[in-house]
Chain A
Amino acid sequence: MTALLRRSDSANPGMRQGHLDSVALFSTGWKKFGLLLGLAIYLLGPLMLSDFQLSVIDYAGIAAIGAIGLNVLTGYTGQISLGHGFFLGAGAFTAAYFGGNLDLPLPLWLAAAAVVGALIGLVIGPFALRLKGSYLAIITLGLVFLGQHIFENWKSVTGGLSGRAVTAPVKLGPVDFANLDIGGKEFSREGGYFYLIWAVVALVALLVKNLMRTRLGRAFQAVRDRDAAAEVIGVRLARTKVMSFVVSSSLAAVAGALYGSFQRFVNPEEFGLFLSIEFVAMIVIGGAATIYGPVLGALFITAVPFLIEEWSDRIPGVATEAGETGITVFALNQALFGLLIIGFLVLEPRGLAALWARIKVYFLAWPFSY
């Protein structure tokens, strides 16, 4: 076969370049520009934004890590999960235990969370992923309630119903992100965490991007697009879906660990169904099966409640003080997320990222006009 194929080697120089193009990550001018812009925001953000704004963006970064994780399972592998919140909880309590009780350093409690998330995913995946579609949604929903039960009763680790403090150290060598000091310039806790959290976001995005352009990640996408065809070309369906679940759970747990550490206190209640639904909303609104979609979704979903809070006295019918009549900010959030999910599913199933993708496809497809 090689001999024959070699003959046509010089036939199409375009393809020659094309296949290596897709090996380079930031191949186009726009992507390079985006990278530089991102870097500038990363470096300057904590110098220019208020602590309140930084804390919103910190929470959004944590959410982005979890959303990228859910997107591996849902966007890239086509498997729905309502259990994502549970894995955030598992990560948060792992950080609380390994970082707090055992006083392990930052890289170790983060890694411990990743490993615990992966292991739980590995144990549960084979049972859950036998099912498809709404059955999978229901069984992962069960996971949330099972998790709540465990979190509320495993008191020595989770603190039970009343929750627990998270005192995991956030030092990396001489750098303490909770008290960041660069050459005499002191940063707030929010500013320090901003650097830590968004560095992790960037790292996770890069790792997932690489995963998706290599063997396993391609197999995820094959399973999503056509599972029967994937199987006859040699993709082991069960194993592949479980691997996707493992990656997804592991990233959720990393997000949970950072969440606990940033918030300094966690409570089992936080890791219920609503959190899972927020993550589904993030990837629906942001756009599945891209790397930046879930990040956009996370920024959006995290910022909305704060914006509502900020403007609540100007929105009619919202109760801002206890005792006032009207719906609460929390209830308004829930209703709004519901509406957003439905709205995006109906009007733009591919989310915020889709507009850009559609423009791109249009130009790539030229001169075919469909």
Chain B
Amino acid sequence: MADLKVNFAGIESPNPFWLASAPPTNMGSMVERAFDAGWGGAVWKTLGEPIRNVCSRLASIDQGPQRMLGLNNIELITDRSLEVNLKEIRECKRKYPKHALIISLMVESKREAWHEIAKQVEDTGADGVELNFGCPHGMSERGMGAAMGQVPEYTCMVTEWVKEATRLPVIVKLTPNVTNITPPGRAAVRGGADAVSLINTINSVMGVDLDTLVPYPNVNGMAAHGGYCGPAVKPIALNMVSELARDAEVNVPISGIGGIGTWRDAAEFLLLGATTVQVCTAVMHYGYRIVEDMIDGLSNYLDDKGFHSVNDIIGLSVPRVTDWGNLDLNYKTVARIDHQKCIQCNLCHIACEDGAHQCIPFTEIDGKRFPIVDEHECVGCNLCYLVCPVPGCISMVRLDDGSRPLTWRELTTREPETMTAD
């Protein structure tokens, strides 16, 4: 069985699966149950001046019978006293010395306040701290959370403050509510961050109750924008993780967060450069038990593919991500339909007809009307392949022989006048 142990910025963890700072890590008894279930690490619910929460706090979008494809919350940081939290952290670390225990922090923008809390946490024996520069609601109105993460100078400054006060590894948790993730990522590294984690939640309004006209979640007739997470945000998180993994200046380990629920999701984050992954929504949906298949599925995958350690796949796909200008313009695929498998729903036809390039006409085979791809017209966009409900029915077949790759960058340097080449 493949080795799942990782070392994240000096923090040893029995596996790369951590709980994100959120309700599942609210207190000691919860984190301990999570460790018993198999989680390798946990980032404690953000500590700071205890706050007062509103009721209600969560809303979600569903897709047919699938609940909570996306989750939104207007919850703040911990509402429990610092003293109680620190006591539980100390006990938890004593009971689980081999697990990774990271403490998330957020205090007001004062050097002394950050020094004070960082020292108190170091004193508990915890393995590291995570600076929450990401919370997009409530805390940001008080000049904290995303308000800090959105200004690279602040990110750098506060990271420096914390580094002055503690020897613990410092992880900076980034907000996705920026136009470009690289500047805040670099700022964290400049400030001395030992690692970065991302993403925190995304600004969102989940919908409106058409009877009361109040958006969700309803707090006595009013609503506020909240933080969006869950399966729906995974592609956004993957992009941001891979952006930082590709950046030479961000040369620190990454903890990937956002929409992870299965070992497959986790493997994708690892391949795109994350050393650990963090999970919140999937645990809020199904409980700590999901980690069992994450561990089992990932180790079976590694065994199947002949990898001996999870470290062997970290970042393996990063070199496969590039800028558009470096993609091969001569690579040519077309869709092909397997008429043995086709159930004649004609979704490929109408998708191509009204949403692509009108190249799936019908043909008659054995008295039945089947869609068929006109390979001369097909641009290989993938749309029909994506809409087809039958696994393996439409495949994308390569037509070029790979012998003459040509990128837009090469083309425009060679012939500057063909900026919009055929």
Is B a genuine binding partner of A?
Answer: no
